[in-house]
Amino acid sequence: MKKQKKASNGSSSRQACRFFQLPDAVIFEILSRIPIKYLLQCRCVCKRFLCFTYDPEFARLHFSRSSTCFLFKNISPRYGLYDFWLAQVEAKGAGIEVSNLKFTQYNAPTSCIVGKSACNGLLCLAVLEQFQSRTFYVCNPVLDEFIRIRQPYQFVPRGDFWGLGYSTATKQYKLLQIYYCLRYEWDNIPAMAEIYTLGTGSWRSIGNAPIGSVGSSSNVFLNGALHWFTLSFVDRSEFIHSFDFNVEKFGTVPLSDHLRKKKKFGWHPSVGVLGGCLSMIHSPNHMSFDIWVMKEYGVKESWTKQFVIQDPGYFCLQPMIMLYKNSPDEPATVVCYDPKRKHLQEITNMFHIHLPFQVASYTPSFFSLGDVAKGEQIFRALDSMTRSVKKSSSEAVIDHFTVVFQWKSWITSNLTSLRFLKSVKMRKTDSSTSSPATSDPAETKKLLDKLVVLKLNGGLGTTMGCTGPKSVIEVRSGFTFLDLIVAQIQNLNTKYGCNVPLVLMNSFNTHDDTMKIVELYAKTDVKVHIFNQSQYPRLVAEDFTPFPCKGQPGKDGWYPPGHGDVFPSLMNSGKLDAFIAEVVAAINGKEYVFVANSDNLGAIVDLSTLEILNHLIQNKNEYCMEVTPKTLADVKGGTLISYDGKVQLLEIAQVPDAHVNEFKSIEKFKIFNTNNLWVNLKAIKRLVEADALKMEIIPNPKEVNGVKVLQLETAAGAAIRFFDNAIGVNVPRSRFLPVKATSDLLLVQSDLYTLADGNVSRNTARSNPVNPSIELGPEFKKVSNFLSRFKSIPSIIGLDSLVVSGDVWFGANIVLKGKVKIAAKEGVKLEIPDGAVIENKEINGPEGLSG
């Protein structure tokens, strides 16, 4: 890193700058008044500015003050490329500020942009691709983000209308499309209406649109509704149609009697927004046009003639912003109208644009599609941040990495002072000795009816040689992880007449296969809900550019961002609100969700663990993490620490190399996180809506197709510090039984465990409370190879440790005791015969089996 320049007093420039010591609210107030051009420059220089401009609260404040700009679309006649340039008019109206922003998205030679709609600084562009189908692109040109939305049919609709809007009720962006099913549109035939809600990934029909509602492609979003002008081809009657995105209903805005008597609105009727009011153009003839404003929304008497422009020599396409010259022989020209001077000023020559272009009004914003459309594929979402890395020093790093670097720096200087949670913050529970929260079946039912069980189901079984979801691996007696989970919950629902639902958070890697498997549980007493978590682009480690931009648009270019994504994804799926609102047997909805990994066989819900749920409800604990004593087998597990008065999670990936051994110490850090979490549903909703879950980022390096990439992930346990009255619960080791490798599979398939009602429990015949240590060679890594090398799983109740290497094959009814080591010589197949009893022995060949 370059040395920082010294200030006059000898301190560093970072120390001398006190701007960032101001409260965030003050910084937002200052930054929101800076012109868009300079804000963009600041984002490419300083990582702190970058962080502030990605804050949703700043985005809302800036948009409320942002002035209208020109959005130019250059069209390259040779390559069919579409470049977007942003230009801002200064307050005096005389000068033009042109930013350096260039937004290029569409490079197919046959593509043709046929229209645009804007809402809250987001643009929706309709693109005709290969003259076969239309695709919509919702984008933010300021942040270089876009989402591709394909139509549900493979034809270009006839007589269609579409526009982008926002629902304040659901806080979702929606795309409305109206079209005729027939080859030709007719004024007396109703059109079809469809809605696409960003984040859902699908279209849905809302029935027929009103007759004659398909009109001008020009539309404007105002007061929660989309507005557009229609002109009947039958009787020349005029309407301003509207669509309210909150209630998803069509309507009309009344025109004044004066306007309706004119019966003609010129060649290019359109609506707009002027001074926060609905406006429209009234063109009595081709030599002039009037701009009318509806001073009081919905009141037809409030229509007022605001401006009259005489003999413009232009066709007006958007009031006050964009005009085209009348003559087709003259190039298109952009003009501004000064209402005080009553003068039209041509400004195109100030931009030095030579290619054919179009231009529209646009209010820039910093609203990120990553916030408003979770669950969608967001292309080039990190591109603007990547430019920061390329254009400046290492000070301007990506926001995610900034958090990681700061976190690691903090750990380096504070690791020695980190301490285990005070005992007052910990509760202990032991399912083997503690009594249930209640012995009354009715009270048990009430507790269970407040619970939702959520399993993290985004992982693949690739480390065990499987190609599908890990949860469908057979773990015992022909049952998969999912089979056992469903059986556990069904047993509770059947026995107590309760309604505990199962929720699976899938990734894009596991969703399709899981959907097919879940159909098998349709006849059980368990309601299974499914939703997908987000997917982010991998970053090329060399230059931090998104991997999809390097020619990897398929699955290899993307990744699920870790289980820390469970809270926003649960909210965005709509499941969270549904559970909160649900009323079951006079119980006021669900209150808590139990979150656990699908491969943790110990993460069950039974009567003994209801003590935890009962305690959380009685003491209003919003978050609870189950921890268990750390052994030498768990040294990499995350641990809870107390710092600055808050409970926090510390993961090994966040610890600098120099302190890793210290972190692994079972004397200093005595417990680790099982990732079994109990969380209040309303608290999740509150924190997600406030965008308050700023969890630490964990970089996960990978290599994909020979390219070193980074995945920036979060852990659900890291959210503990954001919830009120969060606690940790010290649970017995039986609550943590993950199956990460075939060595774990050997444990749970052996007589060391028993199976009843979907619960895998330790065999009481084993006196040693610690499970045997098992190490299997690479020949056993894949599940298929593992199963083929055992005629039957050996008895290991009396086993302390087992190490197997080489080409070893086990017969049936084998008993292993004490410390056993079996190593086949290279190139030699070693078979352990049926019925063999091996105790405290090291075997290197057939001769070792005798005696």
Strands (E), 405-519: 426-428, 451-456, 474-476, 479-480, 502-506
If one compares 410 and 608, the residue with the highest pLDDT of the two is 608
Long-range contacts of 787-794 (CB under 8 A, 24+ apart): 791/834, 793/746, 793/749, 793/750, 793/751, 794/750
pLDDT score, position 737:
92
Q: Yes or no: say if 492 and 448 are a contact pair by the CB < 8 Å rule.
A: yes
Query: Which has more pLDDT, 395 or 786?
Result: 786
Report residue 290's pLDDT band, with 50, 70 and 90 as the boundaries: confident
Question: What range does the domain containing 511 cover?
Answer: 398-740
Are 13 and 7 spatial neighbours (Cβ–Cβ below 8 Å)?
yes
**Are residue 767 and residue 693 in the same domain, yes or no?**
no
Task: Collect all residues with Cβ–Cβ distance below 8 Å to 655 and sequence separation of at least 6.
Answer: 408, 411, 415, 663
List the one residue out of 730, 728, 734 whose CA is nearest residue 747: 734
- Residue 728 sits in the same domain as residue 747: no
User: Looking at the 3D structure of the chain, how many domains does it have?
Assistant: 3
Q: Would you call 478 exposed, middle or buried from its count of C-beta atoms within 10 A (0-12, 13-18, 19+)?
A: exposed
**Structure confidence at residue 315 as a pLDDT band (50, 70, 90):** very low
Going from the C-alpha of 216 to that of each of 360, 370, 806, the distances in angstroms are 15, 31, 75
Q: Is 59 strand, coil or helix?
A: helix
Q: Provide mean pLDDT across the span 102-124.
A: 59
Burial class (CB in 10 A: 0-12, 13-18, 19+), 300: middle
Domain boundary pick from 66, 84, 101: 66
Interatomic CA distance for residues 195 and 197, integer angstroms: 6
Q: Which residue, 311, 312, 346, 310, is CA-closest to 331?
A: 346
Residues 429 and 502 in one domain: yes
Domain boundary among 39, 66, 93: 66
Kindly tell me if the per-residue pLDDT of 830 is higher than 90.
Answer: yes
Q: What is the dihedral of CA 687, 689, 695, 700, to 10 degrees?
A: 140
> For residue 233, is it within any domain?
no
Burial level of 25, CB count in 10 A (0-12/13-18/19+)?
A: exposed
Query: Both 584 and 436 in a single domain?
Result: yes
Q: Are residues 731 and 778 in the same domain?
A: no
Instruction: Please list the residues that pair with 668 across neighbouring strands.
Output: none
Calpha distance 324→333 (Å, rounded): 6
- Give alpha helix (H) positions in 263-382: 369-372
Residues 6 or more apart from 290 whose CB is under 8 A from it?
281, 282, 283, 284, 305, 307, 308, 309
Looking up tokens 């004397």, which residue turns up? 667
What whole-number distance in Å separates Cα of residue 470 and Cα of residue 468?
6
Q: Could you read off the pLDDT of 352-396 as tens digits, one per residue?
A: 444 455 566 677 788 888 777 766 666 643 333 333 333 322 222
**Beta strand 335-338 pairing with 623-629:** unpaired
pLDDT of residue 391: 31
Structure tokens at 439: 């012995």
- What is the per-residue pLDDT for 3? 40
Q: What is the mean pLDDT of residues 643-651?
A: 77
Is pLDDT above 90 for 684? yes
Is 121 within 8 Å of 142 (Cβ atoms)? yes
Residue 208 lies in a domain: no
Whether residue 733 is found in the same domain as residue 773: no
Name 704's bridge partners.
Answer: 707
pLDDT at residue number 747? 94
The answer to whether position 700 is within a domain reads yes
Whether residues 517 and 662 fall in one domain: yes
CATH number assigned to the domain comprising residue 790? 2.160.10.10
Question: Strand, coil or helix: what is 360?
Answer: strand
CA atoms within 13 A on the CB side of 270: 22
More confident residue, 749 or 94: 749
Q: What is the mean pLDDT of residues 756-773?
A: 89
> Per the structure block, which two tokens stand in for 47?
């990582």
Pick the closest to residue 580 from 496, 489, 683, 503 (CA basis): 683
Whether 65 shows a pLDDT value over 50: the answer reads yes
- Give the contacts of 16 (CB within 8 A, at least 6 positions apart): 7, 9
Give domain status of residue 188, yes or no: no
Residue whose C-alpha is closest to residue 816's, from 849, 782, 770, 778: 849
Amino acid, res. 443: E
Comparison of pLDDT for 338 and 716, the residue scoring more: 716
CA distance 664 to 651: 11
pLDDT of residue 181: 60
Q: Which two tokens stand for residue 143?
A: 């942040």
Note whether 470 and 514 are same-domain residues: yes
> Collapsing DSSP states into helix, strand and coil, what is residue 327?
coil
pLDDT of residue 345: 57
Q: What is the pLDDT of residue 184?
A: 43
- Whether 408 has a pLDDT exceeding 70, the answer reads no
As a whole number of angstroms, the distance between CA 584 and CA 449 comes to: 7
Of 300-314, 478-492, 807-821, the least confident: 300-314
Q: Cβ atoms within 10 A of the Cβ of 699, count?
A: 17
In tens, the pLDDT along 503-534 reads 999 998 888 888 888 888 888 889 999 999 98
User: Pick from 182, 226, 177, 224: which is nearest to 203 by CA?
Assistant: 177
Q: What angle is formed at CA 736 by the lines to CA 650 and CA 670, rounded to 5 degrees?
A: 45
The more confident residue out of 19 and 422 is 19
Select from 704, 721, 740 the last residue of a domain. 740
Same domain, 726 and 766: no
736: in domain:
yes
pLDDT at 651: 83
87-105: average pLDDT: 43
Task: Give the model's pLDDT for residue 817.
Answer: 94
Does residue 37 fall inside a structural domain?
A: yes
Q: Which of 156, 103, 96 is nearest to 129 (CA)?
A: 156
699-716 mean pLDDT = 89
Residue 839 has pLDDT above 70, yes or no: yes
Please check whether residue 334 lies inside any domain of the structure.
no
Out of 637-641, 733-737, 749-753, 754-758, pick the least confident: 637-641
Contact (Cβ atoms closer than 8 angstroms) between residue 320 and residue 342: no
Same domain, 654 and 508: yes
Query: Taking a C-beta distance cutoff of 8 angstroms, is the pair 548, 537 a contact?
Result: yes
Question: Rounded distance, CA 850 to CA 836, Å?
Answer: 10
Per-residue pLDDT band for 405 (boundaries 50, 70, 90) equals very low
Instruction: Give the CATH number for residue 618.
Output: 3.90.550.10
User: Are 505 and 554 members of one domain?
Assistant: yes
Separation of alpha carbons 554 and 552, rounded Å: 6
Dmax (CA) of the chain? 112
Give the tens place of pLDDT for each residue, 192-228: 888 999 888 788 888 888 877 776 667 888 888 998 8
| C-alpha of 601 from chain center | 28
Specify if 730 maps to a domain.
yes
Contact 547, 704 (CB under 8 A): yes
Mean of the pLDDT values across residues 7-13?
Answer: 41
Looking at residues 826-847, what average pLDDT do you find?
Answer: 91
Q: Is the pLDDT of residue 99 over 70?
A: no
613 & 727 share domain: yes
Q: Tokens 């012995």 identify what position?
A: 439
